[in-house]
Amino acid sequence: MKLSEHTTSILKNYATINQNLVIKKGSELLTMSSMKNIVARAEVEETFPKEIAIYDLNEFLTCLSLFKNPNLEFNDTFVTITDDRQKMNYFYSDPSVCQSPSKTITMPSNEVNFEISTSSLNDIKRAASAINAPDMVLERNRDTKTASLVARDKKNDSANNYSLDVETNGDGEFKFFFKVENLKVMDGDYSVDISSKNITHFNNKSKSLEYWIALEPESNYTV
């Protein structure tokens, strides 16, 4: 089996969420952060023949990078990586020592939806980095009905902030707080559902790729 560029990109993204990965038999890749506040799911073009557990995903990706055109053969206890004259046996981990979600999240009904492009998402991430803002809030005032994504420090009202206007559905007033460090989604355009039960669903508009990200407890929604 050869891994596509897209699948390799997903694995690199998953490594930023959790160093552990358990790949189930089939074409679905699931991961969950150690704090259990981020879950990601992707459908890939490859079909994995068996369950394999990888304790250090970054190490595994580094091993793959040693090969120009790696081919993977999955054995009972290890995967053999080959390319021309090169060969490596990379042994699986025990699944019991790897953290992995057993299933995807059932998203509760959402009160708010908005769409965000990869350029806008990257803009607000760069702005948050530039002003050292650890938080991002999606907020809307009932009177103006204008919603904004704001990079800020929620603990310091006098700190620098950056805002980006977005269009949202529905009525009501809200402040939904994210940790910027939790926005570990791959580049792409997303439709984002937000539930007042403090969970969000980022659904990639062109790929079978989705993320569930927990909101901070200060979040609030009023009809």
| pLDDT digits 0-9 by tens, 171-213 | 789 999 999 999 999 999 999 999 999 999 999 999 999 999 9
Domain boundary among 69, 97, 125: 97
Q: Per the domain annotation, does 107 fall within a domain? A: no
Q: How many domains does one find in the chain?
A: 2
Provide the terminal-to-terminal Cα distance of the chain, rounded to the nearest Å.
52
Domain harbouring 136, CATH code: 3.70.10.10
Helix residue spans in the chain (DSSP H):
5-17, 57-65, 118-130
Which residues, 6 or more positions from 10, have their beta carbon under 8 angstroms from its beta carbon?
A: 29, 42, 44, 186, 209
Q: Per the domain annotation, does 157 fall within a domain? A: yes
C-alpha closest to that of 39 among 175, 151, 202, 161: 202
Query: Could you tell me the pTM of the whole model?
Result: 0.94
Both tokens of 113, joined, read: 């939806």
Identify whether residues 118 and 212 lie together within a single domain.
Answer: yes
Per-residue confidence (pLDDT) for residue 145, from 0 to 100: 74
| pLDDT digits 0-9 by tens, 141-181 | 877 778 999 999 999 999 999 999 999 987 789 999 999 99
Identify whether residues 198 and 123 lie together within a single domain.
Answer: yes
Q: Per the domain annotation, does 164 fall within a domain? A: yes
Structural domain boundaries, residue 56? 5-97
Identify whether residues 168 and 141 lie together within a single domain.
Answer: yes
Domain boundary among 65, 97, 129: 97
Identify whether residues 157 and 119 lie together within a single domain.
Answer: yes
Identify whether residues 55 and 132 lie together within a single domain.
Answer: no
Question: What is the Cα–Cα distance from 151 to 178, expressed in whole angstroms?
Answer: 9
Identify whether residues 86 and 10 lie together within a single domain.
Answer: yes
Question: What is the Cα–Cα distance from 14 to 181, expressed in whole angstroms?
Answer: 14
Both tokens of 7, joined, read: 């699948």
Question: What is the Cα–Cα distance from 40 to 15, expressed in whole angstroms?
Answer: 11
Identify whether residues 44 and 125 lie together within a single domain.
Answer: no
Identify whether residues 192 and 119 lie together within a single domain.
Answer: yes
Identify whether residues 90 and 12 lie together within a single domain.
Answer: yes
Identify whether residues 69 and 147 lie together within a single domain.
Answer: no
Q: Per the domain annotation, does 128 fall within a domain? A: yes
